[in-house]
Structure 1
């Protein structure tokens, strides 16, 4: 790529940052990715695609400052505590450090990706409340910002242990209960558009989702895609009583905090058509779905 990097992307070897990086590359824009290990397979793949690598650590402010040099806009996302890699306080520390560095280095625009559960009051789940705290901090700084709040990723449904390989898919909502979801492809292209058009999105908080979908809808879509019956059921009460993390998440789906409140029609008017789960299953999610169908039995993939 001949373009000098305009955009610095954090989390570029992960799901969200990776999706944003791909979308920016497809738009012909120059990208710099902040990576800890330049020799990892994902980092080497980014470099092969023309991405400039800035090597550093999110606990090392000097390395963040170095990566910011000459950058116009930043996409900021941090790892959450359910990964087991850091605490909620450390996530907040990292989010603040990225934002402070952007201000200090004269970056024009910061896009912070939070979660659909952010900004809706105290949830009692640290990895959601941490993002609300980062949002509040980002908004307090003298820099142009946009905050995006993605709904649950369609890709999350393909985590091990959800039951597709047994013909019984288990998830959070009741069969007739609706929950919003978004494909990472759409998350990536929308955030990339925002980065490329900062004046249109300055100061906005944008809830992101691609579809309202029920358990019954998933049952029908999965069955058609698999070519055989896939039954949908909510996580069992027995499992929820044993797994406090899933129990608390399910309660937040029930009370609406995690169910999603995006105006999907308005998003489509502004950013174009969003992938529905059927399209995702035959497109970006096809390999993930096929792998989940044929996976060896395992425990629930959510912590």
Structure 2
């Protein structure tokens, strides 16, 4: 088995939240990391290069550029594009298929992909089949997972995170635009339990799979560290920052009037009616230390943008 410093990892989506976390963790653990980017000159890419990553320019619509990026690569980390785009077109699925096919053609042995928790039971969601839930979001995720599973890789792993803790810091303007004013406004009830995972924990799982492909081979792993309500989240952020956080539960109509994206509103309603329901105890067998939201909040105290 190759040691970490003998393995070359290709990270797709390295300038995003998940890909960036995986790149940083893989470099920290001594892997050789190549990142597939559209532009080498952005500040995010230059920062990764400074940390030791090799950047290769590629385009999802240009298979030769993907294959060039995969030369001599031992393993690929793949993360889908933003789910909101998939309600308008087939870009997420098309690009994911291109990466999978290029990896197989290039002889890549290991493929680690991130999807989302609950994909295996989407047909059991209430109102499924009526189009209520932007069904393409879920079917695209599942179709890509199936493509990974059936592609023929020597080792594949699919990691399925629940809600990302970094939504309260890195993606706060999109997810919780009123947090700056000390408010969390959501259609999700204040006491609804939601499963959370930090992207840093996700990155540790990805690197554990890179280090031990046999152990993680053909594993579909739903990821969450704990279940918390928005009431719990508000209390933790308040305690850590010293700023009072108020949770407001909106009706669907009120949320629409606030200008919330329909996709976000349905996601919040989905939390009430369905939820990720990750079996957190199952993750103990992997011996990966998971970060609680309290630990996350303390470590990212200065990242909370609250006036």
TM-score grouping bracket, smaller chain normalisation: 0.7 to 0.9
Corresponding position: 1:223 with 2:233? no
Distance in structure 1 (CA, Å) of the matches to 2:284 and 2:303: 25
Change (3 A) 1:146 1:217: same
Structure 1 length-normalised TM: 0.87
Change (3 A) 1:45 1:221: same
Aligned to 2:94: 93
Aligned to 1:132: 142
Structure 2 length-normalised TM: 0.86
Cα deviations across residues 64-116 of structure 1 (Å, max 9, x unaligned)?
1011111111101121242x599541110110111111111111111111112
Alpha-carbon shift at residue 254 of structure 1 (Å)? 2.0
Q: Give the alignment of 1:196-207 within 5 angstroms.
A: 196-207=211-222
Aligned to 2:288: 272
Aligned to 1:300: none
Contact 1:34–1:53, Cα closer than 8 Å, also in 2: yes
Match of 2:45, SS? helix
Change (3 A) 1:262 1:45: same
The farther-off stretch of 85-94 and 171-180 is 85-94
Corresponding position: 1:146 with 2:157? yes
Equivalences, count? 287
| Structure 1 unmatched ranges of 5 or more | 295-303
Distance in structure 2 (CA, Å) of the matches to 1:106 and 1:96: 15
Query: CA RMSD, aligned part only?
Result: 2.2
Aligned to 1:115: 116
Corresponding position: 1:248 with 2:266? yes
Change (3 A) 1:58 1:267: same
Aligned to 2:78: 76
Aligned to 2:127: none
The farther-off stretch of 231-240 and 219-228 is 231-240
The farther-off stretch of 269-278 and 119-128 is 119-128
Alpha-carbon shift at residue 130 of structure 1 (Å)? 1.5
| Structure 2 unmatched ranges of 5 or more | 124-132
- Out of 178, 198, 201, which is 1:183 matched to? 198
Distance in structure 2 (CA, Å) of the matches to 1:85 and 1:125: 10
Distance in structure 1 (CA, Å) of the matches to 2:13 and 2:287: 23
Match of 2:121, SS? coil
Contact 2:113–2:159, Cα closer than 8 Å, also in 1: yes
